[in-house]
Amino acid sequence: MNPNDILRQMTLEEKAAFCSGRDFWRTKAIDRLGVPSVMMCDGPHGLRKQEGEGDHLGINKSIETVCYPTAAALASSFDRSVMERLGHALGQECQAENVAMLLGPGLNIKRSPLCGRNFEYFSEDPYLAGEMAASYVSALQSEGVAACCKHFACNDQETLRMSGTSNLDERTLREIYLPAFEAAVKKGHTRSLMCAYNAINGTFCAENKTLLTDILRTDWGSDAFVVTDWGAVKSRARGVAAGLDLEMPGGPNATGEDILRAVRGGELSESDLDRAVLRVLTFVSDTLSAKKADASIDRDACRRLARALSGECAVLMKNEGGLLPLRPGQKVAFIGEFAAKPRYQGAGSSHINVPHPVSAIEAAGDAVFYARGYDAHSNDTDPALLAQAMEAARSCDVAVIFAGLPDAFESEGADRDHMRLPDNQNELIAAVSAANPRTAVVLHGGSPVELPWLSLVPSVLCMYLGGEQVGAASVDLLFGAVNPSGHLAETWPLRLQDNPSYLNFPGEDGAVTYAEGIFVGYRYYDKKEMPVAFCFGHGLSYTHFAYTNLRLDKSSLTDRDALTVSVDVTNDGPLPGKAVVQLYVRDVESSVRRPVRELRDFEKTALAPGQTKTVSFTLSKRAFAYWEPRCHDFFVESGEFVIEIGESSRDIRLCATVQVQGTVELTFPVTEYTTIGQLLKHPKGKALVADMIQSSPMSHADQTDAMGEGSERLMESMMMGIPLSALARPFLAEDGIFICSGIGDNLVGYE
């Protein structure tokens, strides 16, 4: 099948109709030209293939298959290989099930812990999200199955998601909310993107030319086709003109009449329509070429993989006194309904039909005693269940409470109202820890929760939503068969009110303003030096790692050069384990607001006791850059940067400095209202200010003397805010404008 040949033979009516699906999950066929229909299904932590009536909310039944850890858990692995293993497994299953495209991964940023769909998203950090996505997409597509990254873009809440607008500035969009998609496009080469329901700054994503054409195709050079979120289309003609290709879902009434009218009426060019049709035809053609006729799937092997991945993703958040791992011979009580009926996935379009999720009670067998403790469908404490739990805790050496968010608390289609666990769970943990201080808590859920009992328990193990094998993986970790190696991909604040989006989530009257700007997650908490429950990147192990011998391959470079960073990591503890080496970059002094530090690379490495490995990173321009609206590009400001190696954003072990010279210069317009302080930030402005002060009728020293002893600091502060017109009227041109031109600091002169 040659897409260009097919396009030349299609009628205008066929082209218009082809831009909508055949039904809920399939593209249209063109029988007379030999174009078949191909299927797409929900993902990405399992295959939700519906064989009967379709829906996008996970209501109607789908095939029985394997549920892997959700994105919230996967990102905590800080391990690209985890995503690759998942991508290969799902790609092989899609081939066996004749599925051409898996909808996912979700790349929206965790702006607020209240977003009901956070379990489907990777991180508050765009670099981490992008790297995990690119690894998954590459592996999935290597199996001949297309990925569809979603929801492009700024769909960071469920409240009014189909009609609301996300309002934010250019820098925030480019630094925080687009880079994960950019990585999936440039590194992962995703075949498709799903445009979001919402608008950005008043223009719906499904008809947003800036997003779908200017950024995706022109800036990023992508040939990916764009499909709508299900029901997201507003105007088909405006959408096609903006860069939208395929409307989903389709159906017998999706004949493309609105597109036909627009083309015939001159509102839409046929060339724009042709581009959309050709992109979808190319996807169909690629699907046929990549089809593996003999594909099969071993779901037992998939279940073993799900268990292994869940173990890689778990985060040991606290472990005072070495309570974990549990020792042979100890009497252990498993308490809490989630120990018997694990919460392992979220609700909505990603819901996987699992025949038998494995519970911790089943996996542990006779090694533990069990008490239900609470009713997962209630908020109220059952006195009888509480009494049984306290008795079990008192009679055992160690109590392990399985707690977390119930299904009703987080789901596609609705945001959470608060960050609290159910009251009966909080009361259970407080009571059990009083009955037996040797109490560990295993947490299930897709997003941070408030932990009012944190000081009462020595150990906390976070499993997030770890897939159908989460119970077995929990037992592996608790008893030491697996050493925890996950690190938090999001900050856990002490309380909801501390979150930077607190006053602007979910917005008012369908509009949400991203007033916190670039200060999302740890960028905000670390800038404010705010106490948190657990910081970004935090994660413990049953062993310990030492970092030594940090070296840079150069002490200075330009933003066109690469910097190689190497560090030695040693397992100086008693057990084999995996270290997550995190590299952050800090700008020592900047003329614009920047975070204290930003994650710029990471690597997970396995180490035997006593073993040392060298971990190396390569940093390019983007590691030092911020988005500069004046040049509409990432820009490096010349100066000193610190390379930091740590185990979290607040546990920096080593650092080294490097001088970076920017090679792009910015336009700097100077008017009579430009202040001395603003001008001093510009290299040539400093010389200009020196000339003006020297020629001023009253020198700086004279003014200081006139103001009295001890006033120099006050004088300097006042000077920074003085506009040029007040200081140097003779230096102004007749129109009051200093002469400047060019790109960058080409301040060419003044009159």
Q: What is the pLDDT of residues 214-248, one digit of tens each?
A: 999 999 999 999 999 999 998 999 999 999 999 99
Distance CA 182, CA 71 (A): 18
CB 140 within 8 A of CB 96: no
As a dihedral over the C-alpha atoms of residue 213, residue 219, residue 220, residue 226, rounded to 10 degrees, the angle is -10
Bridge partners, residue 708, by sequence: none
Task: Provide the CA 593 distance to its chain's centre, in angstroms.
Answer: 22
pLDDT attached to residue 722: 82
CA-CA distance, 695 to 95, in Å (whole number)?
A: 78
In this structure, what is the dihedral angle of CA atoms 188, 191, 197, 201, given to the nearest 10 degrees? 60
Quick count: other Cβ atoms within 10 Å of Cβ 64?
A: 11
Residue 671: the pLDDT is 79
**φ, ψ for residue 519, nearest 5 deg:** -90, 75
CA distances, 254 to each of 17, 249, 258 (Å): 7, 9, 9
Spatial separation of the C-alpha atoms in residues 368 and 570, rounded to whole Å? 35
pLDDT, position 83: 98
CB 581 within 8 A of CB 569: yes
Single-letter code of the amino acid located at 123? S
Sign of CA dihedral 390, 392, 398, 400: negative
Contacts of 268 (CB under 8 A, 6+ apart): 237, 240, 241, 259, 262
Chain centre distance of CA 701? 54
| Residue indicated by tokens 């022109």 | 218
Closest CA to 360 of 418, 440, 280: 440
Is 176:520 a contact under the CB 8 Å cutoff?
A: yes
d(CA 445, CA 466): 9
> In the structure encoding, which two tokens stand for residue 193, read together?
């993107």
First to last CA, the chain: 68
CATH number for the domain whose boundaries are 545-661: 2.60.40.10
The amino acid occupying position 6 is I
**SS3 label, residue 659:** strand
**170: which residues sit within 8 A by CB, 6+ positions away?**
627, 629, 632
Element (H, E) at 72: helix 71-76
376, 69 contact by CB (below 8 A): no
Distance of CA 600 to the CA centre of its chain: 14
Q: CA 637 from chain center: how many Å? A: 26
Q: Identify whether 179 is preceded by a cis peptide bond (ω within 30 of 0).
A: no
CA pseudo-torsion sign 236, 241, 247, 250? positive
Q: Would you list the domain boundaries of the chain? A: 3-290, 299-527, 545-661, 666-751
Q: Given phi > 0 = left and psi -120 to 50 = alpha, else beta, which region is 685? A: alpha
Kindly tell me the burial class for residue 599, based on how many C-beta atoms sit within 10 Å of its own C-beta (0-12, 13-18, 19 or more).
Answer: buried
Give the pLDDT confidence score for residue 696 in this predicted structure: 55
In this prediction, residue 672 carries a pLDDT of 77
Nearest to 536 by CA among 566, 474, 592, 580: 580
Q: Do 314 and 463 touch, CB atoms closer than 8 A?
A: yes
Alpha helices, DSSP H, located in 100-235: 126-142, 170-172, 179-186, 209
CATH fold of 299-527:
Rossmann fold (3.40.50)
Closest CA relative to residue 478, chosen from 390, 400, 578, 392:
400
For 732, the token pair is 């102004």
Distance CA 402, CA 457 (A): 13
| pLDDT on residue 733 | 43
Q: What is the pLDDT of residue 236?
A: 92
pTM: 0.93
**Bridge partners for 440 per DSSP:** 400, 459
d(CA 65, CA 93): 9
Classified as helix, coil or strand, 634 is strand
Residue 428 token pair: 């259970």
Quick check: 45 and 30 in contact, CB under 8 A? Answer: no
Cβ atoms of 118 and 412 closer than 8 Å: no
Backbone angles phi, psi at 534, to 5 degrees: -145, 130
Confirm whether 229 is a catalytic residue: yes
Are residues 479 and 326 in contact, defined by beta-carbon separation less than 8 angstroms?
A: yes
Listed as ranges, residues in the chain with pLDDT below 70 are 52-59, 683-684, 688-716, 718, 727-751
Cβ neighbors of 172 (< 8 A, separation 6 or more) are 514, 517, 518
Q: Are 466 and 73 in contact (CB under 8 A)?
A: yes
- Cα 360 to Cα 368: distance, rounded to the nearest angstrom: 10
Q: Rounded to an integer, what distance in angstroms lies between the CA atom of residue 35 and that of residue 27?
A: 10
Indicate which residue of 42, 79, 125, 229 is catalytic.
229
Tokens 């943990």, residue? Answer: 429
Phi, psi angle pair for 65, to nearest 5°: -155, -160
- Specify the DSSP element, H or E, that contains 200: strand 199-200
Element holding 461 (H helix, E strand): strand 459-464
CA angle (463 as vertex; 346, 449 as ends), nearest 5? 70
Distance CA 390, CA 249 (A): 52
Name the pairing type of β-strands 511-513 and 165-167.
parallel
Tell me how far the alpha carbon of residue 525 is from its chain's centroid: 17
Query: How does DSSP assign 158-180, residue by residue?
Result: STTTTT-EEE--HHHIIIIISHH
Q: Are 350 and 48 in contact (CB under 8 A)?
A: yes
What was the pLDDT predicted at 742?
31
Is residue 549 within 8 Å of 146, Cβ to Cβ?
no
Does the domain at 3-290 match CATH 3.40.50.1000? Answer given as no
Give the largest Cα separation in the chain, rounded: 93
